[in-house]
Structure formats: structure tokens, C-alpha cells
Amino acid sequence: MNPTSPIDPGSDTARSQYSFTSRWHVAASQEDVWYLFEDQLASDDPFVWWPGMDSERRGDDIHVVAGSPVGYTLRFRLHDIVEEPKERVTLQSDGDLDGEAALVLRGVDESSSTIDVSWHVDVTQPWMRATRLALRPVFVLAHHAVMRAGERGLNSWLVENRQRDSDPVR
């Protein structure tokens, strides 16, 4: 399995403080990944498979507490989630991360796919804004570590669910 591929290492843009694009390599077809998205986005804990990410569905929104590998915690709400079946999910965020994200699914072959994740955010915690220039490299590395953990967690979760679903004892 290839690790997360950072396409954009976290560039500054005029409209947001951080702009990231990552590519996840997933050992499941585009269709299987889409059905997982549908099921998980509707569940009480949409990111149960993502280490360090606690999530809770509240109505149409998802409230997230994300732990950083360097010790800080981000709290944000995902809302205005729009699904384009089997192709794309877009959403808005507010809280410690104010911005937008898009996840684009692409099939590679019948048993693998990619997810391109674009994330454009402003940080709102005063300490992060004040230390932005000095700690930017740390924030960028932490983002990539969290994304790698998500990619690994998703692939592990898919394997576990396939094994459970094919277990003849169940």
C-alpha cells in the first residue's frame, strides 16, 4: 500500500491560511468506497475507522475532535455536506478549522481506488494564528500525519469488515 501522497504540501492562498491536497490509495473499488461513505456519513460515529479522530453525528452535522500527533487538539463541525453519488463529497467546516473540503473518488481498477482530499481552511485558535509563521512546518507535518493515519485506518477497517462479512461463523 502506498502511503498518502501529499500533492500540495500546504500552500498559503489568498483565501485561506492552509490549502492541502492529499491522495489516498484505497484497497477497494470506487463503488465499495462510495457505499462505505454513504453508510459512515449516516452513522452516529462517521469516522470510527480514523485513529485520533472522534466524531459524532448531530442532525445533519458531524462534530469532530481531532488529536494532533504533536499534542494539540482541533474541534470543528462539518456541515453543508453534499454528496454526488459515487464521485464526490463536499463540505464546509467551522470551529477551529473554518473552510471547505472536497473528496473526489476515482477508480483505479476493480479492486482499488483513490480519494483526492482537498482541504482549504483558516485556523481560528488564537495561539495557532499568532504562531503561524514559526510553527507552520509543524502544522503541515501534523496534517500529513493525521491524513496518513486516516488512509491506513480506512484500509485496515475495510480489511476487517471484509473478513467479518466473509466469516462463515457469523
* Residue 160 CB burial class (10 angstroms; 0-12, 13-18, ≥19): exposed
Q: Domain extents for the chain?
A: 15-165
Instruction: Identify whether the C-beta of residue 120 lies closer than 8 Å to the C-beta of residue 16.
Output: yes
Give pLDDT, residue 9.
47
pLDDT of residue 132: 87
Cell digits of residue 35: 457505499
The pairing of strands 97-109 and 112-123 is antiparallel
8 close to 20: Cβ distance less than 8 angstroms = yes
Residue-level pLDDT, tens digit, the chain, 170 residues: 444 544 444 555 544 589 999 999 999 999 999 998 889 989 999 999 999 999 999 999 999 999 999 999 999 999 999 999 999 999 999 999 999 999 999 999 999 999 999 999 999 999 999 998 899 999 999 999 999 999 999 999 998 887 776 655 54
Residue 28 DSSP one-character state: S
Domain 15-165 class? alpha beta
